[in-house]
Structure 1
Amino acid sequence: MDRCEDGKYMDLVWDGTPDAYYIKGHVTNEDGLAILGDWGIVEPSIGQARQIYGRWSLEGDSDGCQTLRDYNNPGRGRFKITIFATGIFTKQSEDKGNG
């Protein structure tokens, strides 16, 4: 994948349907949803924006394809990304189940 600017959608290749959508840099939930909408991504089960860090790595048995790994903290070789999880991967509401 080519390097992209902050605020740009990261068009990743998935084996099947994506479990998340990624945007380069840390963006707000509102800005991120607008960016995804520009790409035609509108899903009822999309989660809230999470600002995390990513790093490209090669799999040991891969044919040279890179895998995007995500991390909660900054570190060597990591860059800012915003993730929007979908479906069963969305973050559950913190007050759900408390009663």
Structure 2
Amino acid sequence: MPKNAKVIVRYGPYRACGVVDYRTSRLDGLQAFLTKHGHTVELTKHEDWNTVELMVNGEMVYKCDINDLDYGGDGELDNLCLEASEAVQKAH
């Protein structure tokens, strides 16, 4: 995959403080990490609760629970951000 991939991050709502809603704060590190590695990131909402899916060229290359991502930060210390970046690099 070229270094400058367009990555669509599909994210669902999750429960925080007793309220279920769409929030992007857990995606900050993932966005920063992918952008730092030369990718363009586009966020899109979807209906599946607690999920994050990374799409490259119309293909889902990575999926995880949004609650497992670190809150805020730059993604450098989050192992899921590293896994996601590797999955994007291996995409066709």
TM-score (norm 1): 0.27
Q: Which has the larger radius of gyration?
A: 1
Flag the structure with higher helix content.
Answer: 2
The one of the two structures with greater contact order (alpha-carbon pairs below 8 A, sep at least 6) is: 2
TM-score (norm 2): 0.28
Flag the structure with higher strand content.
Answer: 2
